[in-house]
Structure 1
Amino acid sequence: MSTPAEPTVHSVRIDAQPGHAKICLDNAPLPEEQITGYVLEHSITNALPTLLLHTRQPGHVQWQGLARVAVVEQVDPGPLITDFLRAINPAALDQAALDRDDLDGSPNELTKAMLAQLIDWAEGRT
């Protein structure tokens, strides 16, 4: 059995917009319908960047080459969201939403303010 050669460097171009990303390796576009996400990591002083692709595999896909492999565990966010919402004090949410400075008089403004407030709290902002 032969020892694999050292991985080679490939050029990467990512054109990312909300809702989609076009990723090209060595100027060849990857099938957008197969890419569900990516992580680009780079320790500037230690190595070249590493691109981790999350893919959806249709029935007959083959790939050959060298790659760093990472196993990404998909976590169901439902229980985390449920726990977060159960911990919300309804009176505090009402007051925080009413005190927001982004109320604009539009339809559903209170609901929008409550959702914005929940996002702020989820992200650790008060």
Structure 2
Amino acid sequence: MTYDSEDVQKILQIALTRRQEGEFSREQLIEMASELGISSDILEKTEKNWLIQQEEERSKRTFNAFRRRAFGTHFVSFIAVNLFLILLNLITSPSYFWVIFPILGWGLGLFFHWWSVYQSKSEDYEIAFQKWRAKI
């Protein structure tokens, strides 16, 4: 029976998961790589790339949390101020619902803020992320 490289990778991944539920040491990683015929140079480069990728993902999670908190603050302000304006409108001029104009205007801005926060696959997201990363 023969296996392609993808099948070998899946089988080994399952076997490693079953073999040891805990963590592997770096020495064990090097030993497994040598048993698989992977040179130490390739393993080291791959490990560095993986670590960089993990750091990038952690930074993006932190950035997303920061943006969501900022949006939450914006949303709470929107609700509080507009509830006050609705009460003011009902008390001062109940026959004319003028408060709809600030609600719609601010609501449009709130929508665009929501859109920018929850769209994480765009070029604008990457630009914002790089600016945020430069600040920290």
TM value normalised by structure 1: 0.30
Query: Greater share of helix residues, 1 or 2?
Result: 2
Q: Which of 1 and 2 has greater Rg? A: 2
Higher RCO (Cα < 8 Å, 6 or more apart): 2
Query: Greater share of strand residues, 1 or 2?
Result: 1
TM value normalised by structure 2: 0.28
